[in-house]
Structure 1
């Protein structure tokens, strides 16, 4: 079932993972083994969750990589659906 206007996974990371633990972006980036720039791009919705980042998040926050990738997929699909009417596609049905 498709969610209505799902949050970007970066918003989830910030609000449900970093803030409750009192972690700065720099501290979280170090713990995840990524640059501050990389994590900041995700937290600010400028980048998505890659499979590797999903694994990093799953290790750091004791979650599953699938849950992070599912969130990313739902976010991207919802936004793509908003542009459905603009797509120039012809039905190919027998």
Structure 2
């Protein structure tokens, strides 16, 4: 089931994980073992959640890596579908 305009997973991370726990970007990045710049890119929607980051988040917040990757997939797919009409693709059929 496709979502309508799903939020970027960084927004979810910020709203449901960092803010309720009162965590700063710096301390969260340190705990995740990534740079502040890397985490900031995700939180601000400039970067996506990679499989490795999904695993890091699952460990840190006791969630599943699949849930983070699914959020990223839904976000990416929704944005790709918005540009569907602009794609120059022909349907392929058997000869």
Counterparts of 1:1-94 in structure 2, within 5 Å, are 1-94=1-94
Displacement, 1:31? 0.7
RMSD: 0.4
User: Shift of the alpha carbon at 1:44?
Assistant: 0.4
Q: Distance in 1 between matches of 2:37 and 2:93?
A: 46
Tell me the TM-score normalized by structure 2: 0.98
Deviations 1:38-65 (A, max 9, x none): 0000000000000000000000000000
Q: Deviations over 1:57-77 (max 9, x none)?
A: 000000000000000000000
The one-character-per-residue Cα deviations of 1:6-34 (angstroms, maximum 9, x if unpaired) are: 00000000000000000000010011010
Q: Distance in 1 between matches of 2:79 and 2:34?
A: 27
Unaligned runs of 5+ in 2: none
Report deviation, 1:81: 0.2
> How many residues are matched?
94
